[in-house]
Structure formats: C-alpha cells, structure tokens
Amino acid sequence: MKMTSRRGFVVLLLVVAVVAGLGFLGFKLAVNGENWATLRANEHLTEDGSFIAAGHITDRNGEILAKTENNQRVYNDSERIRRSTLHIVGDTEGYISSGVQTAYKTQLIGYNHITGLHSLIKNGRGNDVKLTLDSELCAVAYDKLNGRKGVVAAYNYETGELLCSVSSGNYDIRNKPSSEEIAENKNGQYDGIYMNRLIDGLYTPGSTFKIVTAASVIENKKNINDWEYICEGETTIDGVKVTCPHSHGKLSFKTAFSNSCNCAFAELSEALGSQKLTATANEFGFGESFSFGKGQTEKSRIDLSEAKNGDVAWAGVGQYTTLVNPYHMLTLVGSVANGGTAVLPYTVASISTPEGRVVEETVAVSREYISPDVAKLLKEMMRFTVEDNYGDWRFKGLEMCGKTGTAEISDEEEPHSWFVGFSGNSDCPVAIVVVVENGGWGSSAALPIASSVMESVYKTLA
C-alpha cells in the first residue's frame, strides 16, 4: 500500500512537471514566437539573410512595390518609384528599421500566434500589405528634389492617408551601395542614407514656426486685428539685433505674417514671453513623439527655460534652439486645415491574406491641437499669404494656404528651405511639407517643389 502511494506521488510529480513545462513552453511561445519565426537562420524564410517568403507590398492603386518571385525579393521596374518609396517600403536586411519590410515583417510572412506559419506554408507567401501611398506622386516629388537631401510628404488631412512620402538621400534597392562605399562616404552622399527624414528628421523650422507664434498671439493678445507695427528692417531687443531682408513699412498682424516680418514677430514674441509661447507650442504637440506604423517619430523641441528676451524673440521667428520634425509639422498644418484637430498620418492601409481576406485595417487617430476659432484665423492668414505673397498661380484651383521658411543653421552652410501648407479645396483636402536641406530661401527651393507636387495631387484626386 505504501509502495503504491509512493508510486502515485511520483507519477503526480511527473504530471505536475510536464504540465508546468508545457505551460512554460506555451508562455515562451506566446512571448517569443514572432522572434523565433522571423529568425534569419530559418532557411525556408531567408536566403543570404534576406527574407524571400514575404507577401506583396502595393501602393493605393495596386502597383506592386515589392514581392516574392522565384525565391527572390523583387521590386518595382521603375527606378524612380524604387528610390522614391525606399524609406517606406524599406529593405529586407533591417537597415531601414522603420520600413514596412522590417516593421511589418511578422505580418508579411503571415505569422499567427495560433496557427504559426500555416498561411505561409499553404500559400507559398505571407500576407500582402497595401499602402496609402500613390507611387507616381512619390516619383514626382523625387524628381523635383533632384538629388538634394530633404523630405517631401503630403497627406489627406481629413482621413490621415499619407499619399506621398519621399526621403532623400536614398539609393536604388536593386543596386545598393556596398558597406565599404557607405563607410568611406567622402562626399557625404550617403549621410543618413537609412534614415527616413519624415519621421526621424529634426530641423530648425525658420519662419514656418511663425504659425505657432501667431497662434500664441491670437490666444493671448486681445484685439490683435487692431495691432499695427512699422518695420524698419531691424529691431533690437535687450541688446540682441533681429533683422529682416528689407524694411516692410507699416504692417497689420495679417500682413506681418504674409510678409514674414522677423522684426514684427520678434516684438510679438518678446511681449508674449517664454511661458506663453512654450505653452502654445506644447498644445501643438512639441515635446511629444507620435506613432507611425510600428515606430515613433522624433520629438519636436522647444526649450526656453534659460532664454533671455532676445532669445525668445529669435525663437518666435523659428530660430534659437527650436527643432521641428517634418511629420509633426505636417500634422500641425493639417490641424489648421481641419478646424484645430489633427488626423495623424499613416501609411499602411490594410493587411490581407493572399486570397484577399483583410486581416487588419488601420484606423486613423485624431487629436485636438487648437480651438476652431484659432484655426480659422490661422487658415485665413495662410490663405492671404499665398494670395498676397506667393501667388495663386502656383497652386491653380487649390485655394492654397501656406507658409515658407528659411532656416539659418550656421554661417558656413546655406539655410534649410521649408514650405508647409494645405489645399482649402474640399475636392483636394491635402496638406504638404517640404524641406530641402541647405536649399536656401524657402520661396526659391521648397515652394516650387510644393507647387509641382500639389498640382499632381490635384490631378490625381480630381
């Protein structure tokens, strides 16, 4: 009897051990299954370290940007499209970490926590990813950048769909530079080659920041429409000189914005003070990171904690130490277009099985930046700026609202060239951001690119 009891106890211990082991294995599988499935050592998934069993990646119109064919990962036939969509599509080696082929690797190979890689085995490839991008619009933006480093992005500010996103420099994924070429990089050709400047870039904003300053003035200064200023070409604030390219003469708040008068906005910023200007910037999302796909954007930065009055004056015109992320700036102008609420841009529209069954769809996220009243007045000012300064002929039919920026970065380098804006035409609810690194004046480099891309956007949506 005692022997039977001891045997029963041993069996019970074994059962407990087996159950505990299975439980531990199940837990580890749930936690690490994705990582195990996507190890590059899996020969049925990889060849020379590159994933070859992933599903198709297409643009919004079904144009194939990447697919698996004869155990090879192949890309669009057009070099313009391959280069212009590089940082969104990504590479298979993971150097472009924010690219779809890395960030959505699990979905592309069809891994499922319950069925594992059954879909891959059954269909010969994983799931397909459909993007919101229009690849031809991206190619137009790539052409207009003409080899210059920078970023161009446009999105539907009502739905959040990113229609165009180009980060330059880039390379042709069919003819990747060698690690030796990148390591040598004597002429700076490959600086930041793997970085998606839309989400990872940080730039001095120049006069595009006057949108934020203007919002702060509207929020904090009564009877702003009665305000007047005489620009003499320069002003001095606590011993710090602020200059304009020329004397603007007598200005209202609206014409000070339209003429991008540094002196006027320096005086307004100094009157606001660091706390109020910072508070408005924070309302707009400065200091925050935004979700983009499976990653996060860089945080736009403003720090006036140690700033003196002259520093605040320069910060108000987009200089000092302020840095802005292009994705964030795109949401900022999108919020002005959308009555104060930003619909955050996204680029993965849906994920489907090879049979066409949708397994995942992106739902846009919104957040309120500013009040509708503030947004309405900013929109009117940006609209007047295009009509009065840049010329409606650049944006025919778009009822364009916008702001250029010329961001000084050092005495030795040309300034960064900016344009941000949006169409007020309800048939084309699209906002755009353009940054040309060391491009010079915003009106000479970024503005013409925005004009060409928005013209193509209008033709595409009309």
Across the chain, mean pLDDT equals 89
- The per-residue pLDDT for 116 is 46
Please report which confidence band the pLDDT of residue 5 belongs to, taking 50, 70 and 90 as the band edges: low
Q: Kindly state the average pLDDT of the residues 22-49.
A: 48
Place 16 in a pLDDT band, splitting at 50, 70 and 90.
low
Query: Tens digits of per-residue pLDDT, 219-250?
Result: 999 889 899 999 999 999 999 999 999 999 99
Q: What is the predicted pLDDT for the residue at 180?
A: 85
The string of pLDDT tens digits covering residues 146-174 is 999 999 999 999 999 999 999 999 999 99
What integer pLDDT is reported at residue 53 of this predicted model? Answer: 76
pLDDT, tens only, 398-408: 999 999 999 99
pLDDT at residue 27 tops 50? no
Q: How confident is the model at residue 8 (pLDDT cuts 50, 70, 90)?
A: low
Number of H helices, E strands in the chain: 17, 21
Q: What's the rounded Cα separation, in Å, for the pair 337 and 382?
A: 10
Give the torsion sign (CA, 250, 407, 282, 328): positive
- Cβ neighbours for 434, distance < 8 A, ≥ 6 positions apart: 150, 151, 152, 417, 418, 419, 420, 446, 447, 449, 450, 453
| Whether the predicted pLDDT of 360 surpasses 60 | yes
> Of 75, 235, 84, which Cα lies nearest the Cα of 164?
84
* Nearest residue to 420 via CA among 322, 309, 301, 327: 327
H helix or E strand, kind and range, residue 242: strand 240-243
- pLDDT band at residue 11 under the 50/70/90 scheme: low
Gap between the terminal Cα atoms of the chain: 89
**Quick one: average pLDDT of 250-268?**
97
| Rg of the chain, C-alpha, whole Å | 26
Token pair in block for residue 255: 């014409």
CB-CB contact of 211 with 337 (8 Å): no
Paired with 50 in beta bridges are: 47
Give the C-alpha separation, 159 to 304, whole Å. Answer: 34
Crossing angle, helix 309-316 and helix 262-272, to 10 degrees? Answer: 130
Q: Answer positive or negative: Cα dihedral of 144, 147, 148, 151.
A: positive
pLDDT for res 122: 55
pLDDT at 9: 62
Percent helix / strand / coil, the chain, rounded to 5: 40, 20, 40
d(CA 129, CA 95): 20
The arithmetic mean of pLDDT across residues 55-84, rounded, is: 94
On whether the CB atoms of residues 416 and 436 are closer than 8 A, the answer is yes
Q: Could you tell me the pTM of the whole model?
A: 0.89
Q: At what angle do helices 210-220 and 372-385 cross, to 10 degrees?
A: 130
What is the rounded average pLDDT of the residues 68-85?
93
The pLDDT score that the predictor gives to residue 368 is 97
pLDDT at residue number 273: 96
pLDDT digits 0-9 by tens, 78-125: 999 999 999 999 999 899 999 999 999 989 987 654 444 445 555 567
DSSP-assigned letters across all residues of 175-223 = SPPPHHHHHH-TTSTTTTTT--HHHH--B--GGGGHHHHHHHHHHH-TT
Query: Do residues 169 and 182 make contact, with C-beta atoms less than 8 angstroms apart?
Result: no
